[in-house]
């Protein structure tokens, strides 16, 4: 009877060890999958075509954003891209702060908002809504001076569009970055090129 208890106890311990190994392996697999999913979320989103919002060509996030309205007309009057760019350049060196829209401090959509407003062009205050105006441009090679450029996942938020700048030509854009304030940056900068989703032509 005692031997039987020992055998039973040994078997139970052995079974527990096997179960624990399976659990550990399962947790390892789940962790690996989670890491892969997290990494994929930081990659550039696949944008939709301005002509056809095909699920095969677009991410679910872009689809949801597009359903809120895109390619709205912006009344720019007789103003030219150079006027808005010139205004934005006056803020170069201004430090960054969330909600800022003056020489004291500036955030990304504050820069675009002020640069357009001072030229009597009315646009929304935040980047998510600014992205709904103008013809969508997905190929960076097609960008022209004065186009707005939009980015995703530059910080943690429920909004799809998280950053905006103004294309100034020569593959560069002016924007208010968190680390450097208002600055001109190459579009092929690794951080921003991975997060670029589209531009819009408002002029």
The rounded average pLDDT for each run of 10 residues, N- to C-terminus, in the chain (203 residues) is 45 48 43 32 39 53 93 96 98 97 97 98 98 97 98 92 98 97 97 95 97
**Bridge partners, residue 184, by sequence:** 174
pTM, whole model, 2 decimals? 0.73
Annotation says 83 is catalytic: no
Annotation says 97 is catalytic: no
Given 41, 97, 105, 163, the catalytic residue = 163
Close Cβ partners of 143 (under 8 Å, ≥ 6 residues apart) = 137, 149, 167, 187, 199
- 30-58 pLDDT, tens digit per residue, is 333 333 333 222 333 444 434 444 444 45
How far apart (Å, rounded) are the C-alpha atoms in residues 196 and 173? 12
Annotation says 96 is catalytic: no
Given 41, 83, 105, 108, the catalytic residue = 108
How far apart (Å, rounded) are the C-alpha atoms in residues 104 and 97? 9
Class for domain 60-201, per CATH? alpha beta
Four-CA torsion 140, 125, 116, 177, nearest 10 degrees: -50
Q: What is the pLDDT of residue 143?
A: 98
- 4-28 pLDDT, tens digit per residue, is 444 445 445 544 544 444 444 443 4
**Bridge partners, residue 175, by sequence:** 183
Q: What is the pLDDT of residue 106?
A: 96
Q: Are 145 and 151 in contact (CB under 8 A)?
A: no
């Amino acid at each position: 009877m005692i031997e039987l208890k020992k055998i039973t106890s040994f078997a139970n311990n052995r079974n527990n060890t096997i179960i624990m190994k399976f659990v550990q392996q399962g947790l390892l697999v789940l962790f690996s999958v989670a890491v892969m999913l997290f990494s994929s979320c930081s990659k550039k989103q696949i944008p939709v075509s301005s002509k056809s919002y095909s699920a095969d060509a677009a991410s679910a996030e872009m689809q949801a954003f597009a359903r809120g309205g895109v390619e709205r007309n912006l009344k720019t009057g007789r103003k030219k891209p150079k006027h808005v760019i010139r205004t934005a350049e006056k803020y170069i060196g201004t430090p960054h702060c969330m909600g800022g829209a003056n020489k004291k401090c500036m955030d990304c959509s504050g820069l675009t908002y002020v640069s357009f407003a001072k030229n009597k062009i009315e646009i929304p205050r935040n980047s998510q809504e600014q992205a709904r105006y103008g013809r969508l441009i997905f190929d960076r090679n097609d960008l022209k001076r004065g186009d707005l450029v939009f980015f995703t996942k530059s910080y943690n938020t429920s909004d799809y569009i998280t950053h905006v700048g103004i294309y100034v030509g020569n593959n560069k854009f002016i924007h208010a970055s968190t680390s450097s304030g208002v600055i001109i940056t190459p579009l092929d900068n690794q951080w921003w090129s991975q997060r670029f989703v589209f531009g819009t032509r408002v002029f």
